[in-house]
Amino acid sequence: MATTLAPNGVHDEPARQHRRLDFPTQRPHSLCGARCGRWYRQHAHGTRCRARGARRDAPLPWKWVKLDPLESGRLAYRYYKEKGGCGSASYLSLLTLLKQKAGYPWTTMPDMLMVHAAAGFGGHGTLCGALAGASVIINMVTYGEKRDEYLQNNAIVDRMFWWYAEQDFPSERFDDLSPLPKQIKVKAMSPLCHTSVSKWSLAAGVKDLHDAAKIERCAKVAGDVVYIVTTALNEFFDGKWVAPVWRPSKEVEHCIGCHGPGTPTQKPRRWNQQGHMECLMCHEDHTA
Ligand code: HEC
Ligand code: HEC
């Protein structure tokens, strides 16, 4: 059927879905953990236990603890190679440190949640997976925060994408871990995996994306993203993070004036496009 992704999708299995919904009442002690389990075994109808089980459904935001940006960045570099690419690299490096240093509820998150984001999600070349994995954590710790008048809690995500597009990747921050230090640097131009990787590969003369040089480059990019995100979140929760106001580049400033989206200082005439990417990557300038 057109509505399911898999040929034998979940729509065909109402019985299994039903069982899954019943799960908490059938096996409460496995949800509540060992201490609660003992209590439950002594009392056949574990209402108190179920209440603790409900605590598992921890609402956002979850606690951020101060992390060392270099430590998390280095872990991301390593995880790129060991844990399935850029999506895992960023998400799992931050998650691992949060599990270690903050514990519950981070300990309930699955390690491989973002592995599908590699190569711009399933090899599709859309959003860079390092940005995707990091933005999951950003949302989980800042959800509901309203410190920025412009984009509220999404500001860190937006600024991270914008920062990424402007970077000459990769930095030399992780060169001591790398068999290929001092690689050629190229501006990513957009948060898209396809442009970021393709512009670099052309400049580096890499013709096959399985090339060790490309793997190194992307592992370092994942490290760079996590380094910056850790720095921003540390500052945010220290009350020191000031969202830099988005400024369109010179080439597209006039586009924004007419098409939006507005900035705090500039209201568009028409808000008929959304996005902070470089317009000329895809459009001709019809006013030139
Ligand atoms: C002086 C105002 C102005 C500026 C500056 C401007 N545009 Fe437009 N643009 C318009 C108007 C008016 C239209 C007509 C369609 C509409 O907005 O409904 C239009 C249409 C478009 C369309 C839709 C074309 C179509 O096929 O319908 C695109 C895409 C676009 N502009 C992109 C840009 C980009 C990119 C820039 C900067 C490089 C830019 N515009 C600068 C006013 C402007
Ligand atoms: C990744 C490619 C890409 C980028 C980057 C991009 N656009 Fe577009 N934009 C498109 C496509 C595709 C459409 C659909 C219309 C078309 O085919 O021209 C579109 C449509 C539009 C329209 C018409 C929307 C409407 O509903 O009338 C405007 C206006 C526009 N873009 C402005 C911009 C501006 C301004 C920027 C920069 C801030 C920008 N675009 C960046 C790909 C892009």
What pLDDT, on the 0 to 100 scale, is given for residue 90? 98
Query: Is 135 in the same domain as 273?
Result: no
Whether 1 maps to a domain, the answer reads no
Domain membership flag for residue 48? no
pLDDT recorded at residue 153: 63
Using an 8 Å Cβ cutoff, are 284 and 196 in contact? no
Residue 259 CA, ligand 1 centroid: distance in Å: 7
- Residues 85 and 202 reside in one and the same domain: yes
Kindly state whether residues 81 and 130 are assigned to the same domain: yes
Q: Are residues 97 and 168 in the same domain?
A: yes
Would you state the pLDDT for residue 228? 97
165 and 261 share one domain: no
Do 100 and 216 fall into the same domain?
Answer: yes
Domain co-membership, 84 together with 223: yes
Do both 126 and 160 map to the same domain?
Answer: yes
The residue range of the domain holding 262 is 250-281
The answer as to whether 27 is a domain residue is: no
Q: Structural domain tally of the chain?
A: 2
Contact 125, 119 (CB under 8 A): yes
Same domain, 273 and 203: no
Cβ 256 vs Cβ 248: under 8 Å: yes
CA dihedral 184→189→193→196, nearest 10 degrees, is: -10
Q: Could you tell me the distance, in angstroms and rounded to a whole number, from the CA of residue 79 to the centre of ligand 1?
A: 43
- 10-residue averages of pLDDT along the chain (288 residues): 33 34 37 43 44 67 97 98 98 98 97 98 97 96 71 77 95 98 97 97 94 98 98 94 82 86 61 83 92
- 58: in domain: no
**Whole-structure pTM over 0.85, yes or no?**
no
Asked whether residue 267 falls in the same domain as residue 200, the answer is no
Has residue 62 been placed in a domain? no
Residues 226 and 275 in one domain: no
281 Cβ below 6 A of ligand 2: yes
Same domain, 269 and 153: no
Question: Does the residue 6 lie in any domain?
Answer: no
Asked if residue 12 is part of any domain, the answer here is no
Q: Atom 32 (ligand 2): residue with closest C-alpha?
A: 273
Cα of 204 from ligand 2 centre, angstroms:
30
**pLDDT value for 155:** 82
Nearest CA to ligand 1 atom 34: 255
Q: Is 60 helix (H, G, I), strand (E, B) or coil?
A: coil
Distance between CA 32 and CA 24 in Å, rounded?
A: 9
